[in-house]
Amino acid sequence: MYKIHRQNHNFQIAYFIAGACHTADGAYATLQGLREERLSAIKNYAVAELKTKASIIRANRLLLGTDDERLDGEAELLEIENNRVVSQVLFDAANDELLFIERCIESVQPLRQYKDLPDAEAHEAAQKEEWKLDLIKRAENSLLTTGTIPTDHYDTMRMHPDFITEILPRIDEILVLVQTNTPIQMAQLLQPKFSFPALLIN
């Protein structure tokens, strides 16, 4: 989907990036990654501005030279001005995106299970549950669309430590639901417990 001037639009962040996570801690980790990337882009703008100022000084020197040097200097200044306009637009967009990401982090923070741990430890601690729920969701999608679970996905599920105790029983539940409910009923029954977009509405 299009990303005019931004890495991701608010809708994409809410529904398809953070919204694709299954736990508050998973969403938080994902949002932190987005936040770091946008902060880096914003900081790089300051570096680019310093380099631009140096380029302007060099271009102005060319204006004092021969005819061909003056033309080069004029071209340099025009190019710098054009690039500055684009850079400013991207800088403003990065700041807007960062503001939304910060709002998302604030919304998800109270729901986190591992919020009392340092970020690196919290990100690691959330992996088991996030993987389990993601594997279940993929299995649900396969059962709803093809009626079977692909061999490679089944193999991945078996590697998870909760396969016997939680993943396999859930698959059995889904098989029963598929046989006794319409697609619309199934969609309602399979609504996730954690819905990131709903946090932004409430």
pLDDT digits (tens, 9 = 90+) for 116-156: 999 999 999 999 999 999 999 999 999 888 889 999 999 99
Check pLDDT > 90 for residue 32.
Answer: yes
Comparing CA positions, the residue from 131, 124, 43, 148 lying closest to residue 91 is 43
Q: 202 falls in which pLDDT band (50, 70, 90)?
A: low
The pair of three-digit structure tokens given for residue 10, joined into one six-digit string:
């608010």
Check pLDDT > 80 for residue 1.
Answer: no
The pair of three-digit structure tokens given for residue 184, joined into one six-digit string:
């619309």
Tell me how far apart the alpha carbons of residues 71 and 158 are, in angstroms, rounded to a whole number: 68
pTM equals 0.87
Q: 167 falls in which pLDDT band (50, 70, 90)?
A: very high
Which of 40-49, 94-103, 118-127, 186-195 has the weakest average pLDDT? 186-195
Comparing CA positions, the residue from 91, 128, 114 lying closest to residue 32 is 114
What pLDDT, on the 0 to 100 scale, is given for residue 201? 65
Quick: pLDDT tens for 82-121. 999 999 999 999 999 999 999 999 999 999 999 999 999 9
Amino acid identity at 149:
I
Tell me the percentage of the chain whose pLDDT exceeds 70: 99
Token pair 């029983």: residue: 169
Tell me the percentage of the chain whose pLDDT exceeds 90: 77
Q: Are 147 and 39 in contact (CB under 8 A)?
A: no
Token pair 């009626």: residue: 147
Q: What are phi and psi of 7, to 5 degrees?
A: -70, -45
What pLDDT, on the 0 to 100 scale, is given for residue 70? 93
Comparing CA positions, the residue from 113, 150, 117, 116 lying closest to residue 129 is 113
199 CA to centre of own chain: 16
Check pLDDT > 70 for residue 179.
Answer: yes
Amino acid identity at 3:
K
Q: Are 175 and 183 in contact (CB under 8 A)?
A: no
